[in-house]
Amino acid sequence: MTTFTSFMRRAGLALAAGASFTMMQAQASGAVTPEEIEQKGTAVIGVQMDQFPWGFIDAQGENDGFDIEIARMIAEELGVEPKFVRITGQNRIPSLTTGMVDFLVPSMTVTEERAKVIQYVLPYSSNDITVWARADAEIAGNDDLGGFAIGVNRGSAFEPILRAAAPESTEIKGFDDDATTVQALLSGQVDAIVGSITYGLVIASAGQGEAFERKYKVADNIQAMAVRKGDQEMLDWLNDFVTRHGEDGSLDALYKKWIGLDRADLPTEMPGVDFTGSAGN
């Protein structure tokens, strides 16, 4: 397990390296079908680079993590090289809709609102939205959040859920990404944070597993890859990929390897979300 300090240092390098998309990146992308990606020879894939263990930069400066392995599997089956582009909670949807990437393989929550703008692939992962806090903080449910300072990754799906669940007396502080959100808890900037169940892995790697604990689950968090609206052939290809590797156990094995838990049974239908692309036809 990588240490939190080295992880944060690598995350900082990733932040600096991917702070902005260049015009060259935008021009390099634009493929909308598997055949066009094959002809181009590269798949430009939007991924997290600072969200351990989903996507991060390892000690050798290489992309690694659950989503990265899946992205590499996709590129290999397409017969092309993957080109990873850093995405964040704030820029991941614009990076897709403006053509800076061919598709997204992030740990991205499926929401009805986002489904109006992007086309979700069948869910491949889940990540319970969880409250993490000091072990001595008396927080057992949403009503207990009032009076505490709660941190959250601004622009993520966690933020609106927290704002809807927390009492008006709650002090909510937003941070740029998951790494800085966890660091805010460990450094005492906030009393608790709301986010990924895998925050616990980062907290443990920092040697703080006894000082902080998981308090309760706020909500389910179903995750999916995404393509642009109208990229039907790419959607069909990725839906087949998720179905095949769900059936052969590949996704289960990767989830167990990186998350340390069994992959949940995931829905193929969700209210207000069309995974087939039929709504746009």
Q: Give the tens place of pLDDT for each residue, 86-143.
A: 998 789 999 999 999 999 999 888 999 999 999 999 999 999 999 999 999 999 999 9
129-134 and 192-196 strand pairing: antiparallel
Q: What topology is assigned to 129-219 in CATH?
A: D-Maltodextrin-Binding Protein; domain 2 (3.40.190)
Long-range pairs for 116-119 at CB < 8 Å and ≥24 separation?
A: 117/93, 117/229, 118/93, 118/226, 118/227, 118/228, 118/229, 119/226, 119/227, 119/228, 119/229, 119/230, 119/231, 119/235, 119/277, 119/280
CATH 3.40.190.10, applies to 4-126+223-264: yes
Average pLDDT value for residue range 170-194: 95
The confidence score (pLDDT) of residue 244 equals 98
The confidence score (pLDDT) of residue 134 equals 94
The confidence score (pLDDT) of residue 31 equals 54
Q: Do domains 4-126+223-264 and 129-219 have the same CATH topology?
A: yes
Q: Domain residues of the chain, as ranges?
A: 4-126+223-264, 129-219
Rounded to two decimals, the pTM is 0.76
258 contacts 268 by C-beta, under 8 angstroms: no
Q: How far is CA 81 from CA 45, 186, 195, 228, in A?
A: 10, 38, 32, 21
The confidence score (pLDDT) of residue 15 equals 37
Segment holding 77, helix H or strand E:
helix 66-78
Look at residue 22 and tell me whether its pLDDT is greater than 60.
no
Mean pLDDT of the residues in the chain: 88
The confidence score (pLDDT) of residue 280 equals 62
Q: Which residue has the higher pLDDT, 156 or 68?
A: 68
The tally of CA atoms less than 13 A away on the side-chain side of residue 166 is 25
Segment holding 278, helix H or strand E:
none
